[in-house]
């Protein structure tokens, strides 16, 4: 399975896809919204401010071209690593150094076929952090993270831990450091975006 940024400069290859993915997940949290606004890509949020990701294991992803266009942003010094392409500002995915998680943004999957994820996985399986949604989120959205949301992701995470799927990530060097120094957004910039969005 090959995915890419909008202009095609950055391409990745996914092994065992869609076998090992839990499917389509949507997060309405404030951090996800702030990140896309900082990137100038709020157009990729859904009508209620949701960010859709389809996770895979880091060990099953490989960058095949465009590494020079990769950039990494963190909203704070201990925040999530958020990867995007400088060539066309496509958000690509988020990673957690200690977890078998590479949450790839929906846009990387559906550049060539807007209906790819729906045809592959069907409807969204989990919607979380509706307490930060813009207006009224879709029915079934959990205000925070509900038990049903936990059940969707837990088998994926447990299997990843047991099989060591966080290793060999294309975004991490052998010593565990990211392949490039993340840009940590200044607190004033983050606060400004949060105020614009109406968050405290």
Please give the CATH topology (third level) of the domain spanning 2-197. Answer: 2.170.150
- CB atoms inside a 10 Å sphere around CB 166: 21
Spatial separation of the C-alpha atoms in residues 48 and 130, rounded to whole Å:
9
How far is C-alpha 74 from the chain's CA centre?
13
For position 174, what pLDDT does the model report?
Answer: 86
Average pLDDT of the segment spanning 101-120:
97
Residue 127 tokens read as: 């919607």
Tell me: pLDDT of 41 over 90: yes
Tell me: pLDDT of 74 over 90: yes
Percent of the chain with pLDDT over 70: 100
Tell me: pLDDT of 93 over 90: yes
Q: Which residues are within 8 A (CB) of 164 and not within 5 positions of it... i.e. 6 or more apart?
A: 59, 100
Spatial separation of the C-alpha atoms in residues 11 and 121, rounded to whole Å:
22
DSSP class per residue in the chain: -EEE-TTSSSEEEESSTTTT----EEE--HHHHHHHHHTT-GGGS-TTS-EEEEEE-GGGEEEEE-GGGEEEEESSTTS-EEEEETTT--EEEEE-TTSS-EEEEHHHHHSS-TTHHHHHH-S--EEE-GGG-SSPPPTT--SS--HHHHHHHHHHHHHHHHTTTTTT-TTB-TTS-BSS--EEPPHHHHHHHHHHHT--
Sequence ranges of the domains in the chain: 2-197
Q: Are 54 and 24 in contact (CB under 8 A)?
A: yes
The mean pLDDT of the chain is: 96
Q: pLDDT per residue over 155-181, tens digit each?
A: 999 999 999 999 999 999 988 899 999
> What separation, in Å, do the N-terminal and C-terminal C-alpha atoms of the chain show?
40
Residue 146 tokens read as: 């509900």
- pTM of the model as a whole: 0.95
For position 175, what pLDDT does the model report?
Answer: 87
Spatial separation of the C-alpha atoms in residues 120 and 86, rounded to whole Å:
28
Q: Which pLDDT band holds residue 63 (cuts at 50, 70, 90)?
A: very high
What CA dihedral angle connects 161, 172, 5 and 64, to 10 degrees?
-100
């Amino acid at each position: 399975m090959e995915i890419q940024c909008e202009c095609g400069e950055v391409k990745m290859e996914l092994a065992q896809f869609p076998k090992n993915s839990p499917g389509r997940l949507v997060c309405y949290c404030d951090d996800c919204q702030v990140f896309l606004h900082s990137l100038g890509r709020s157009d990729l949020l859904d009508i209620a401010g949701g960010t859709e990701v389809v996770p895979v294991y880091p060990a099953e992803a490989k960058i095949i071209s465009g590494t020079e266009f990769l950039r990494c942003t963190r909203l704070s010094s201990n925040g999530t690593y958020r990867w995007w392409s400088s060539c066309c500002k496509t958000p690509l995915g988020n990673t957690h150094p200690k977890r078998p998680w590479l949450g790839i943004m929906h846009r990387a999957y559906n550049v060539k076929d807007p209906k790819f994820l729906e045809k592959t996985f069907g409807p969204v399986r989990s919607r979380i952090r509706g307490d930060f949604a813009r207006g009224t989120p879709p029915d079934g959205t959990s205000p925070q993270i509900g038990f049903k949301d936990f059940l969707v992701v837990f088998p994926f995470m447990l299997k990843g831990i047991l099989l060591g799927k966080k290793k060999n990530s294309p975004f991490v060097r052998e010593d565990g450091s990211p392949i490039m120094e993340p840009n940590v957004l200044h607190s004033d910039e983050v606060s400004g975006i949060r105020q614009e969005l109406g968050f405290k």
